[in-house]
Amino acid sequence: MFEIKVGEAGVVYLSGRLDASQVDKAESVLGDLDGSVVADFSELDYISSAGIGILMKAYKRLHDSGGTIRLVNMTPRVKNVFHYAGLDRIFTIE
């Protein structure tokens, strides 16, 4: 199961499994954000290439409008996916 919600101070919380079946749900939240965004991955167990694609789309949209997206509190498993895909050179990961 996948959940995404915007909490205090605009922090976006992702939990569960972000795969192709959940892209529309993620896009409905990420597509409405503007400015600089912090995405908390502490409860995200899994991300597929489709999930990465939606994050890239949000990154590009935010970046083109002068905003940023920071990915924080990644589990080692999810962090490895970003590292091996070379996405740690694109995203700010803390």
- CATH architecture assigned to 2-93: 2-Layer Sandwich (3.30)
Residues whose CB is less than 8 angstroms from the CB of residue 76 and which lie 6 or more positions away in sequence, other chains included: none
| Closest of 80, 75, 67, 6 to residue 36, by C-alpha | 67
Encode pLDDT of 24-57 as tens digits.
999 999 998 988 999 999 999 999 999 999 999 9
How is residue 66 written in tokens? 């002068």
- The residues spanned by each domain of the chain are 2-93
Instruction: Indicate yes or no: pTM above 0.85.
Output: yes
Encode pLDDT of 51-74 as tens digits.
999 999 999 999 999 999 999 999
How is residue 71 written in tokens? 């990915």
Query: How many Cα atoms sit within 13 Å of 82 on the Cβ side?
Result: 24
Hey, is 13 helix, strand or coil?
strand
